[in-house]
């Protein structure tokens, strides 16, 4: 999903850049037109060029707004991933302290230092210092 969102961001950004280049080209034409003597055709061409620039700049506002929404979606996606991981870690911790699961070399978090530190904090909070010592020894082996 992040790849799709990143691709959308890049596409929107390239469209903004492309539109800005068209605005610059129109500005050059407007500068050239401004040097011509006054006439109905000059006024018409100037209005057309200004109208085109206005539309391009309005589209860029829409593209930038869409970029902001995509960036927020990406941030929310990252936040959800972190929340899910933390929730899973808490669930695993609860299974261990309830005795439902053993914390040994077969456990998926056996070599995860962050998870081990979380376990140490749990045991320290519950005055289970023997468990803290065991976990700290294991942690030293990992580091």
pLDDT in tens, 3-18: 888 888 899 999 999 9
What is the reported pTM?
Answer: 0.55
Q: Is the pLDDT of residue 83 over 70?
A: no
pLDDT at 1: 64
Q: What is the largest CA-CA distance in the chain?
A: 93
pLDDT in tens, 16-68: 999 999 999 999 999 999 999 999 999 999 999 999 999 999 999 999 999 98
Distance from CA of residue 85 to its chain's centroid?
A: 17
Question: Which residue, among 126, 122, 124, has the nearest Cα to 109 in the 3D structure?
Answer: 122
Q: Kindly tell me the number of DSSP H helices and DSSP E strands found in the chain.
A: 4, 0
Section 94-116 average pLDDT:
87
- Tokens 């605005």 identify what position? 23
């Amino acid at each position: 999903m992040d790849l799709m969102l990143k691709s959308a961001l890049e596409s929107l950004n390239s469209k903004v850049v492309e539109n800005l280049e068209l605005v610059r080209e129109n500005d050059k034409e407007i500068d050239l037109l401004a040097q011509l003597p006054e006439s109905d055709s000059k006024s018409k061409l100037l209005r057309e060029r200004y109208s085109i620039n206005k539309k391009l700049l309005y589209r860029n506002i829409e593209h930038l707004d869409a970029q902001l929404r995509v960036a927020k979606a990406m941030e929310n996606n990252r936040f959800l991933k972190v929340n899910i991981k933390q929730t899973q870690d808490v669930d695993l911790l609860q299974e261990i302290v309830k005795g439902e699961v053993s914390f040994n070399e077969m456990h998926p978090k056996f070599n995860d230092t962050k998870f081990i530190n979380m376990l140490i904090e749990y045991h320290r909070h519950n005055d289970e210092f023997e468990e803290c010592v065991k976990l700290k020894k294991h942690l030293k082996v990992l580091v």
